[in-house]
Each structure stands twice: as structure tokens, then as C-alpha cells.
Amino acid sequence: PGTPIEFSLGAKAIQKNIGILTSGGDAQGMNPCVRAVVRMAIARNCRPFFIYEGYQGLVDGGAKIKEAGWTDVSGFLALGGTMIGTARCKAFRELEGRRTGVLNLIKNGIDALVVIGGDGSLTGADRLRAEWPEHVRALEKAGLITKENAEKYRTLMIVGMVGSIDNDLASTDMTIGACSSLERICESVDAILSTALSHQRAFVVEVMGRHCGWLALNAAISTGADYLFIPEAPPSKDDWEASMCKTLKASRDAGKRTSLVIVAEGAIDRHLNPIKAEYIKDILSTRLGYDTRVTILGHVQRGGAPAHFDRFLGTMQGAEAIEAILRAKPDTPSLVIGMLENKITTQPLKEAIELTGQVAQAIESKDFARAISLRSAAFSKQLKSYKEIANFNPDSKMKLPEHLRLRIAILHAGAPAGGMNTATRSAVRLCLNRGHTPLGVHNGFPGLMRGEITEFDWLSVDGWTIAGGSKLGTNRDQPTPQLGAVAYQLQKHGIQALMVIGGFEAYTAVLELARNRSQYPAFNIPMALIPATVSNNVPGTEFSLGSDTATNVIVQATDMIKQSASSNRRRVFIIEVQGGNCGYLAVVAGLSGGSTTVYTPEEGVDLSRLQRDISHLRSRYIKELGRSEGRITLCNEKASQIYSTDMIAKIYEAESGGFFGARTSVLGHLQQGGTPSPLDRCRANTMAVDSINWLQGKCWEAMDVPNEDNIRLPSDKLKRKYFPPVYSPLSDSAAMIGVIGSEVRFTPVEELVMRTDFKRRVPRAIWWSAARQLIDILCGVGVDIEHG
Ligand code: ATP
């Protein structure tokens, strides 16, 4: 499952000269992408060339096109923006400008081009590709290139990657920069919320997105905003001001102290007239009398160090770009690299551009349903769920009919992880708006046994979107010692469906309940498991809630430690990270943080491995005398029973030949993070909504099932009148929701047993082996760095 790409040095490929440029608006993550392209190119025996200042450099040529070396991209991972410059180039929009660009590429012997930019830049790239043969013929005719060169450079392979904070390329879920930009927005809005809360203010926050509402939508989900305006989904009524006021007032009447409206800079009404933040403010001030402020976030959104995810995405896509170039045949169309859920995709550039253009056309022709459907499937799903959750729905007529309403309990189990509260809030609010009764189980399974169960109301989860840890209380205890008590409480409280949010303990607990259904009728209810663990060590999903938050914390820490190591010169830090027997955190944070190597339980540690790593470091430091970098190595807490983090550092130092020193740093519980990352918040929301929909479906199916076995149903006569019995004994009604490759899927927990190594508490298969390979390649293990 997962990203099906494999990177290896393999046989020496035919050498290609590959130009790389960044164009359009800058985006965090462009630098990691450039680094990966350059290093992967060198590792695959190609010559990379920087083309500075985007298409302007292509048109200007000369010093703006320069061969890139291995160390030219050192330190790029942690830098926002683009170190090779970007520009909006008028000349490239003209045929003559593009022809000069072609001449410059041929002069430099460049036969493949990597373009990292937004849809405009990729449109330019697509035009260049389409016109290439014509340009080559014209240049030959004009005597500017030789016949041999005209023959040699008959085609140009272009690979595009979307570097854009807007996340506006149709058919990809994520573009490079979007996640970091979302983080900047959420940091600001989280901060605004505390002042809004103190003064009972309303805030209207404008975020970037001239044609695409992804940032605004995801910011609204991640911050629990009350109202949202985006270009793809204008308000359906002309008198939208009245609807907005009515909705915000209902939430205030229900006890909310603040109102938060997020508006994309390109927001419009259904007649395509712009909707501006100031106008919204005036409406809220005059009609509702709210003390309302406007914050326009502006360029802050482009700034700062890239989030872990953008480094990861940029790196994986950059490496894949080189593989795609090397795989290409003369008739291979230019490609764009994208991502669906957790799957790196490649598709013809032309198709992606056309599809993206159709979104703008659909908006222009006011076909908004089509505009939304043309964005990724994830986008429309998010928008639908946002609308259902954002506001309190006091109107009982809007809810489900009485007989379809359910009592759904939510419980946290295992160690705390970022996103547990967010998922709970989304589930609770969705339930309330549909008329279900959400029940909070406090303090995990022991709390359930003791009957610590309360009904949630709308306000009880206010502010939970951004709260780290577990508000319900969580622990590692299993239900096993007192299954009878668990059954009793489920029955007593008329619980018809159970949502468990947690990691490995949550998984084994749900499995235990499912396996004991024949003994305890009360367990025959649908159970949904939302994976939440920083270690990301549960089977059935490639991502668990909290793992993005943890990786971000590790990467931020490694940036700081690296800086210290660099200031001291010639120092290597061995940083110990969590993960139990799962090396995920070490590998993914290692790739995003620029670790020289990683030690994982999957690979183990032995002397020959240490020797190899030390000799690699020595050779690097010997060559770098005078300009020695600081370096880091991530070590999982259980990588070896013998070679502890401390011991590895001592061996490093002892065997360094005096060329470098070694220190340790143990990150410990910091990795559980404070506030969950926006990506964890968004994933939490999606998983919660999908799980409630799934539980609901399973319950309704089960309510139709006649009780043929005459098993005593889990509720007494009176309760049955109000809470229809749910009898759902099939194994597929206790399942985990997970991201697998390009899909979000429910897998029965009993099916996951075969995929689990229970002794080590890890999945049997891992999807991140390509990332592990890349760490070695991008750090130059086995690579002839000097040729670059
Ligand atoms: P962002 O998403 O940040 O706006 P972008 O790549 O869409 O990034 P643009 O300003 O649209 O930014 O495009 C960047 C550059 O790409 C332009 O300055 C121009 O040089 C080139 N370009 C854009 N559209 C075309 C086109 N239709 N034909 C040729 N070149 C183009």
C-alpha cells in the first residue's frame, strides 16, 4: 500500500542535463524540492542546472543558468521561499521570449526541465512543450543552432510540480506549500481567538486564494470558524447577509462568545461580485451590533520555515521527478507530479492544466457545483462536512426523523495524540445537528466500566478543535479484566454505536470487544476506531492522528539543534525520538529534517552499520574542512537494546578520528505536541465525519435485522421504545478507518489481525520504505558527490 515508488541508485543511468526552476508566487517547500531534484539527479548520474529567477532566467540565460553541485543545496530543507529565485516573467508569455529560452536551454545542453510553480507556471511549461519542435526548427533555420543540435534536442521532457500555497491544481490533494501556509494561518487565527474570546468579539479573517478556496476551507475546519466564503461555493441566496447573521446569532444564543468568519481573497457572491472582509465586518457591526475586527493575513502566509509535510512532499516529489525523467521515452508527454491522499501520482501535464482551467471556467459560468466537483474528491467532501458541522442547528425539523436517531458514545484510549479532541468535536457537532445523542466516555475503558458517561452538548466541545491532549481523559487500560462491566454500562446507557479514538491500545481493545460479541450481546453494536497515535504504528492506516503533529515537533527541534551543531562546527547530534518498535517517526522526520542517517527498530543497529555511518561522516568532514556543517542523526527509542542513543554518540565520537564530536538530545514527551497541527486537525475532522456516517449506516442496517437468534437485546423494554435495538454481530461492523494509498477505507479490526505483529506492536508491512531509501541517497551514501 501507499506510495508505490522505489528509489535506488541502481545501474548508472544515461546522463541527462536537467534544468530546474521555480516560478510564480513562492511557496514553502520549494527549497526542499529543489534540493531533492539536485541531489537525486547527481545520485542518478545526471547534471542538474539551476535556472535562477524562474522563466526570467531562462530568457536571460548567461549567468542565470548554472550547474548545481551537491553542497549548493545544503541547508535548503529548513528554508522558506525559494533560494533560486522566482519571478513573474512577461517575456516568457511571448513567443519570442520562449524561443530565446529554448536557445538558452540548448546552449547549456539541457534536455529535461523541472518546473516548480503554480498553474500559471505549469501552463507556461505546457506551452513550451507544445511549441518546442517549432522553436527548434526556427532556431536551426536562423542558424542559431547546428543541425546536429536540432536533431539531438528534438524533444524536451518537462516534469512539473505544483509549488503553490493555493492548492489549486485540480486532481491533486496537496500542492507544495499549501500545508505550511495553512500552518501560518492557523497560528495567527489561534492567536486571534484568544483575544476574540476575551472581548466577545467577531473577527473576519481574510486568507489568500484568489481562485481557490482550499486554504480558507481548511483554515475554517482547523480553527472551528463559524462562517466561510470561498470562490467555488458562493452563498446560495442573494440575501446571504441575512442568512449569515441568523446563523452567527444562533451560535451566540447557544452560548458562544465569539464569531469567526474566514473569507478567501477571491470570495464572490453567486453573481460573481466580490465579497470583501470589510463589507462583512460592516454587516456584523450594524445588523448584529458585534464588536467586529478585520485581519488580513497577507504575505505572512507565504513565510517561514516549511512545515514537515511540505518538506516531505517536496522531497518525495522531487526525487520522483528525476525518476520520471529517466523513465521517459521520446514520446512521453510532459508530466505533473501530484498526490492523492498518500499516493504520489504522475499524470500528463496537459490534462492537469486543462482540468484546472475548467474550474475557473465553471466559476465564470456560475456552474459552482461543477467547480467543486473538479477540485479533488477530498475538497468536496470537506466542504460538505464543514457546512454541516460549523453552526448550531436549533431547528428540530432539520434533524433526522426520531426513529433514525442514535446514541453514540465516544471514548479515547491509549496515549494522548494531537487531533483526538478535534475528531471528538467534529463527531459531537455532527451528531447534534443530525439529532443523535453523543455521549462522552471519560477516562478510557476504566471510565466506561465505572459508568463515567455524560451527554455532550454543543458548547461542551467549544474550543476543542485546537486543543492538544485528550479532554475526555485517556489511558492505556484494556477492557479485558471487566468485560461484563463494559457490557453493563453500554446497555445501561443505551449505547447503540461506539467510536474509539486512540492507538494500539484502542485497536486491541476494540478487537477484544469484537471477539467477545457472542458472550456479551451489548458488544454487537457498530464500533468505529479512529487511529490516533504519534508513533503511527497501527495497521490499517498509513496515517494516525497525532503523527503529523509529532513529526512537526521533531523537525522543528532538529532545525534548532542543527543550528547549534553548525555553530559549534563539526558536531553531530544523535536525537532520540519516540515510536516504540515503529521507525516511522525517525524516518519521516529524518527525511524532512535532513538527518544523515536514521536508526530504526526495523533495521536494528550493529557495529558494521555504525562503522559505515561513521566512515561516511568522516569522509564528509574531511572534505569540508573549514566549512564544516552541523549534522543530525535520528535514533528511534527502541532501535537497539544494546546500542543506546548515548552509546551510539560515544562510539561516534571515539571513532571520529577527531574530525567531529557527538552529542545527544532526547525529545521525549515533547513529541506529543501542544496544539495539533492543522493537517492533524483536518484529518481528524474527515475521519470523524466518515466514521459517524459509517456508524450511522451500520446501525440503520442493523436495526432492520430481525433478531432471529432470540438473543437478549442490550436494552430493557422501556429503553427499547426510545432507543431501537441495534444488533450488529458481523465482523465488518467493528472497523478502523484509515488512509491507504489514495483511499480512505474502513477495515474490520479482525481482518487487521493478520497484518499485525502483536509482539512488537507494529503493522507487518510498512509503506515508508521509499522514504528510508531516500535518506541515504540524499545524504550521499554511496553517491559520487564530487561529480556534482
Ligand atoms: P501562483 O499560484 O503563486 O500565482 P503561478 O505559477 O500561477 O503561481 P503566474 O504569475 O500565473 O504564477 O505565472 C508565473 C509565470 O509563468 C508568468 O510570469 C509567466 O512567465 C509564466 N506563464 C504564466 N502563464 C503563462 C502562459 N499562458 N504562457 C506562457 N507563460 C506563462
| Under 8 Å between Cβ of 28 and 86 | no
pLDDT: which is higher, 565 or 358: 358
For residue 194, the model assigns a pLDDT of: 80
For residue 240, the model assigns a pLDDT of: 96
DSSP per position, 115-168: EEE-HHHHHHHHHHHHHHHHHHHHHHHTTSS-HHHHHHTS--EEEEEEB-TT--
Neighbouring residues of 95: CB distance < 8 A, sequence distance ≥ 6: 131
Q: What's the DSSP call for residue 779? A: T
Neighbouring residues of 56: CB distance < 8 A, sequence distance ≥ 6: 64, 87, 89, 91, 92
Q: Which residues line ligand 1 (CB under 6 A)?
A: 23-25, 55, 88-89, 92-93, 117-121, 123-124, 127, 164, 166
Q: Look up residue 277 and give its three cell numbers.
A: 472582509
Which atom of ligand 1 approaches the CA of 119 most closely? 7
For residue 335, the model assigns a pLDDT of: 92
Count the neighbouring beta carbons within 10 Å of the beta carbon of residue 238. Answer: 10
Q: Could you tell me the distance, in angstroms and rounded to a whole number, from the CA of residue 94 to the centre of ligand 1? A: 12
- 161 annotated ligand-binding residue: no
Mean pLDDT calculated for residue range 40-55: 96
Neighbouring residues of 117: CB distance < 8 A, sequence distance ≥ 6: 21, 22, 23, 24, 54, 86, 125, 160, 162, 163, 164
Which atom of ligand 1 approaches the CA of 27 most closely? 3
Which atom of ligand 1 approaches the CA of 26 most closely? 3
Taking 90 as the threshold, does the pLDDT of residue 721 lie above it? no
- 120 annotated ligand-binding residue: yes
Q: Could you tell me the distance, in angstroms and rounded to a whole number, from the CA of residue 46 to the centre of ligand 1? A: 28
Average pLDDT, the chain: 91
- 127 annotated ligand-binding residue: no
Q: Could you tell me the distance, in angstroms and rounded to a whole number, from the CA of residue 593 to the centre of ligand 1? A: 30
- 208 annotated ligand-binding residue: yes
Residue of the CA atom closest to atom 30 of ligand 1? 124
Q: Could you tell me the distance, in angstroms and rounded to a whole number, from the CA of residue 129 to the centre of ligand 1? A: 15
Q: Could you tell me the distance, in angstroms and rounded to a whole number, from the CA of residue 104 to the centre of ligand 1? A: 19
For residue 254, the model assigns a pLDDT of: 83
Burial 586-611 (b: 16+ CB within 10 A, else e): bbbbbbbbbbbbbbbbbbebeeeebe
Q: Look up residue 220 and give its three cell numbers.
A: 475554517
| Under 8 Å between Cβ of 168 and 214 | yes
Q: What's the DSSP call for residue 7? A: -
Taking 50 as the threshold, does the pLDDT of residue 714 lie above it? no
Q: Look up residue 348 and give its three cell numbers.
A: 500528463
- 579 annotated ligand-binding residue: yes
Which atom of ligand 1 approaches the CA of 87 most closely? 18
Q: Look up residue 588 and give its three cell numbers.
A: 519521516
Mean pLDDT calculated for residue range 739-747: 87
Q: Is residue 483 classed as helix, strand or coil in its secondary structure?
A: helix
Note the pLDDT tens digit of each residue in 287-338. Answer: 999 999 999 998 888 888 999 999 999 999 999 999 999 998 888 888 999 8
- 302 annotated ligand-binding residue: yes
Q: Is 166 a catalytic residue?
A: yes
DSSP per position, 9-62: --SPPPP-EEEEEEESS--TTHHHHHHHHHHHHHHTT-EEEEETTHHHHHHH-G
Count the neighbouring beta carbons within 10 Å of the beta carbon of residue 279. Answer: 14
Residue of the CA atom closest to atom 14 of ligand 1? 24
For residue 355, the model assigns a pLDDT of: 87
Confidence of residue 12 (pLDDT cuts 50, 70, 90): low
Which atom of ligand 1 approaches the CA of 164 most closely? 2
pLDDT: which is higher, 629 or 613: 613
Residue of the CA atom closest to atom 20 of ligand 1? 89
What residues form DSSP beta bridges with 635?
576, 599
Which atom of ligand 1 approaches the CA of 25 most closely? 3
Which atom of ligand 1 approaches the CA of 117 most closely? 6
Nearest alpha-carbon partner for 177 in 74, 49, 35, 82: 82
For residue 8, the model assigns a pLDDT of: 61
| Under 8 Å between Cβ of 637 and 577 | yes
| Under 8 Å between Cβ of 658 and 621 | no
Taking 50 as the threshold, does the pLDDT of residue 708 lie above it? no
Confidence of residue 705 (pLDDT cuts 50, 70, 90): very low
Residue of the CA atom closest to atom 12 of ligand 1? 24
Q: Where are the beta strands (DSSP E) in 465-557?
A: 497-502, 527-531
What residues form DSSP beta bridges with 337?
161, 346
Mutate to test the pocket of ligand 1, among 21, 28, 93 (most ligand atoms within 8 A of CB): 93
- 647 annotated ligand-binding residue: no
Mutate to test the pocket of ligand 1, among 23, 28, 336, 353 (most ligand atoms within 8 A of CB): 23
Q: Look up residue 254 and give its three cell numbers.
A: 447557544
Catalytic residue, from 72, 111, 166, 776: name it: 166
For residue 718, the model assigns a pLDDT of: 39
Q: Could you tell me the distance, in angstroms and rounded to a whole number, from the CA of residue 119 to the centre of ligand 1? A: 7
Mutate to test the pocket of ligand 1, among 89, 94, 98, 121 (most ligand atoms within 8 A of CB): 121
For the ranges 111-125, 386-400, 664-678, 726-740, the lowest mean pLDDT is seen at 386-400
Taking 70 as the threshold, does the pLDDT of residue 412 lie above it? yes
Note the pLDDT tens digit of each residue in 114-163. Answer: 999 998 999 999 999 999 999 999 999 999 999 999 999 999 999 999 99
What is the distance in angstroms between the CA of the first residue and the CA of the last residue of the chain? Answer: 34
Residue of the CA atom closest to atom 9 of ligand 1? 120
Q: Could you tell me the distance, in angstroms and rounded to a whole number, from the CA of residue 113 to the centre of ligand 1? A: 16
For residue 624, the model assigns a pLDDT of: 74
Distance CA(737)–CA(507), nearest Å, equals: 11
DSSP per position, 158-220: EEEEEB-TT---TT-S--BTHHHHHHHHHHHHHHHHHHHHHHT-EEEEEE--SS--HHHHHHH
Residue of the CA atom closest to atom 16 of ligand 1? 121
Q: Could you tell me the distance, in angstroms and rounded to a whole number, from the CA of residue 61 to the centre of ligand 1? A: 19
Confidence of residue 43 (pLDDT cuts 50, 70, 90): very high
Residue found by looking up cell 526552476 in the block? 21
Q: What is the 3-state secondary structure (H, E, C) of 726-768?
A: CCCCCHHHEEEEEEECCEEEEEEHHHHHHHEECCCCEECCCCC
Which atom of ligand 1 approaches the CA of 91 most closely? 20
Q: What's the DSSP call for residue 516? A: T
Degrees, nearest 5: CA angle 488-489-493: 120
For the ranges 184-193, 387-396, 609-618, 688-697, the lowest mean pLDDT is seen at 387-396
Handedness of CA 689, 691, 697, 702 (dihedral sign): negative
Taking 60 as the threshold, does the pLDDT of residue 3 lie above it? no
Distance CA(200)–CA(220), nearest Å, equals: 19
For residue 374, the model assigns a pLDDT of: 86
Distance CA(45)–CA(787), nearest Å, equals: 8
Distance CA(487)–CA(485), nearest Å, equals: 5
Taking 80 as the threshold, does the pLDDT of residue 549 lie above it? yes
Residue of the CA atom closest to atom 22 of ligand 1? 124
Confidence of residue 113 (pLDDT cuts 50, 70, 90): very high
Taking 60 as the threshold, does the pLDDT of residue 11 lie above it? no
Distance CA(82)–CA(52), nearest Å, equals: 10
Helix orientation angle between 95-107 and 119-141, rounded to the nearest 10 degrees: 70
Please give the helix or strand (H or E) that residue 514 lies within, else none.
helix 504-515
Mean pLDDT calculated for residue range 473-498: 95
Taking 70 as the threshold, does the pLDDT of residue 625 lie above it? no
| Under 8 Å between Cβ of 308 and 552 | yes
Strand order of the β-sheet with 259-264 is 227-229, 259-264, 202-207, 292-296
What is the percent of the chain with per-residue pLDDT over 70, rounded to a whole number? 94
Residue of the CA atom closest to atom 24 of ligand 1? 120
- 209 annotated ligand-binding residue: yes
What residues form DSSP beta bridges with 454?
440
Taking 50 as the threshold, does the pLDDT of residue 719 lie above it? no
For the ranges 220-234, 432-446, 536-550, 774-788, the lowest mean pLDDT is seen at 774-788
Distance CA(664)–CA(271), nearest Å, equals: 61
Mutate to test the pocket of ligand 1, among 56, 92, 100, 102 (most ligand atoms within 8 A of CB): 92
| Identity at 10, one-letter amino acid code | G
- 137 annotated ligand-binding residue: no
- 733 annotated ligand-binding residue: no
Q: Could you tell me the distance, in angstroms and rounded to a whole number, from the CA of residue 121 to the centre of ligand 1? A: 4
Q: What is the 3-state secondary structure (H, E, C) of 444-485?
A: HHHHHHHCCEEECCHHHHCCHHHCCCCCCCCCCCCCHHHHHH
Residue of the CA atom closest to atom 11 of ligand 1? 120
Tell me the pairing of strands 734-740 and 743-748.
antiparallel
For residue 786, the model assigns a pLDDT of: 65
| Under 8 Å between Cβ of 244 and 259 | no
Count the neighbouring beta carbons within 10 Å of the beta carbon of residue 572. Answer: 23
Mean pLDDT calculated for residue range 202-208: 95
Q: Could you tell me the distance, in angstroms and rounded to a whole number, from the CA of residue 124 to the centre of ligand 1? A: 6
Q: What's the DSSP call for residue 227? A: E
Residue of the CA atom closest to atom 18 of ligand 1? 88
Q: Give the pTM.
A: 0.92
